[in-house]
């Protein structure tokens, strides 16, 4: 798929899930003492997706995740992507996901 098509698909998915009144997040903030110092918050994505090695849809895929996966938010300074940590199958991955698949 072309990057523009991917972005449009993500926006469509975000809008369709925003119409739902059900919250799927378990957000905790850095004020909670259970979070590592570099973690801003923990949340679940609205839809499954891929974790990229750079803040680009052209980056290599490190792993995939579903909407039940906890994501540790590390950095939100990029306009389109968020840096996250994913723990999956006893491994830890750090990479980037599009902000469009995260709850507000």
Predicted local confidence at residue 71, as pLDDT: 94
**With 0-12 CB in 10 A as exposed, 13-18 as middle and 19+ as buried, what is 33?**
exposed
User: What residues in the chain have per-residue pLDDT under 70?
Assistant: 1-10, 12-33
Phi/psi for 74 (5° steps) reads -110, -35
Number of domain units in the chain: 1
Predicted local confidence at residue 22, as pLDDT: 46
Predicted local confidence at residue 23, as pLDDT: 45
Report how far apart, in Å, the C-alpha atoms of 102 and of each of 24, 26, 66, 72 are. Answer: 10, 12, 12, 11
Predicted local confidence at residue 36, as pLDDT: 84
Residue bearing tokens 């798929």: 1
Range of the domain at 41: 3-101
């Amino acid at each position: 798929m072309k990057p523009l098509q991917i972005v449009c698909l993500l926006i469509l998915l975000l809008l369709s899930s925003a119409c739902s009144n059900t919250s799927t997040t378990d957000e905790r903030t850095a004020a909670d003492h259970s979070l590592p110092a570099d973690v801003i918050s923990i949340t679940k994505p609205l839809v499954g997706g891929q974790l990229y090695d750079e803040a680009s849809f052209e980056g290599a895929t490190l792993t995939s995740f579903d909407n039940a996966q906890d994501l540790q938010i590390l950095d939100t300074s990029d306009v389109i992507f968020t840096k996250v940590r994913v723990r999956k199958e006893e491994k830890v991955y750090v990479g980037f996901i599009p902000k469009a698949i995260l709850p507000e």
